[in-house]
């Protein structure tokens, strides 16, 4: 399925990091996972006890508005699966309950999106600030946060109709 990479630096991962996260290009990074479709690493601005990002590995996608059920359902499914897996692994390392329902998965869209490259926020545990508590809540889609699992279900229904 994929290769777990621990702290190994990968060429494509470096390219993604340098191009789409330039303000943090020289900061410490921890690669959690990569496979043929996605790469996952810890978010440099931790907003909860566990906060990872999952991004497409070889293609640039601006954001959720650029996704279509016909072309991106498999990618979205992989991003959700990897997000759940890496957060569960991080929770287990910290001695917390690692149940999938405790993992929050979502995408920011305008006006909250700060990076113009599709990235899934995979989070668990308490928020470390009031900002995180507001900015990463799926019950506020009208301000720019989309629940990834709900988006995936919508895409799967639409892709089966075509």
Residue 85: give its domain's CATH number.
Answer: 3.30.428.10
DSSP state of 138: T
pLDDT at residue 57, rounded to an integer: 85
- Residue 44 CB contacts under 8 Å (≥ 6 apart), including other chains: 21, 24, 27, 28, 29
How much of the chain is in helix, strand and coil states, percent to nearest 5? 40, 20, 35
HSE-up of 8 (CA within 13 Å, CB side)? 10
**Residue, of 138 and 84, whose pLDDT is higher:** 84
30-42 per-position pLDDT tens digit? 789 999 999 999 8
Quick one: pLDDT band at residue 116, thresholds 50, 70, 90?
confident
> How many structural domains compose the chain?
1
Do 13 and 41 form a contact (C-beta atoms < 8 A)?
Answer: yes
pLDDT at residue 137, rounded to an integer: 66
119 among known catalytic residues? yes
Q: Is 3 a member of any domain?
A: no
**Mean of the per-residue pLDDT values of the chain:** 78
Whose structure tokens read 């410490």?
Answer: 28
**Residue, of 3 and 158, whose pLDDT is higher:** 158
Q: Determine the Cα angle at 46 with ends 41 and 117, to 5°.
A: 50
Entry field: residues in the chain: 162
**Residue, of 47 and 97, whose pLDDT is higher:** 47
- Which residue of the set 72, 108, 119, 121 is catalytic? 119
- Rounded to an integer, the average pLDDT of 142-158 is 86
| Six-digit token string for 86 | 């890496």
pLDDT at residue 1, rounded to an integer: 30
Q: Is 4 a member of any domain?
A: no
Range of the domain at 74: 11-161
């Amino acid at each position: 399925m994929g290769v777990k990479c621990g702290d190994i630096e990968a060429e494509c991962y470096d390219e993604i990091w340098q191009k789409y996260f330039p303000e943090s290009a020289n900061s410490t990074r921890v690669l959690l996972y990569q496979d043929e479709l996605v790469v996952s690493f810890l978010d440099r601005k931790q907003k909860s006890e566990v906060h990872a990002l999952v991004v497409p590995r070889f293609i640039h996608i601006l954001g959720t508005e650029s996704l279509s059920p016909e072309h991106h359902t498999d990618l979205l499914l992989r991003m959700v699966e990897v997000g759940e897996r890496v957060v569960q692994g991080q929770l287990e390392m910290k001695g917390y309950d690692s149940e999938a329902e405790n993992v929050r998965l979502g995408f920011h869209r305008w006006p909250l999106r700060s990076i113009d490259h599709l990235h899934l926020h995979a989070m668990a545990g308490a928020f470390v600030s009031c900002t995180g508590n507001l900015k990463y809540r799926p019950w506020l889609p009208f301000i720019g946060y989309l629940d990834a699992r709900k988006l995936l279900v919508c895409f799967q229904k639409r892709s089966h109709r075509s």
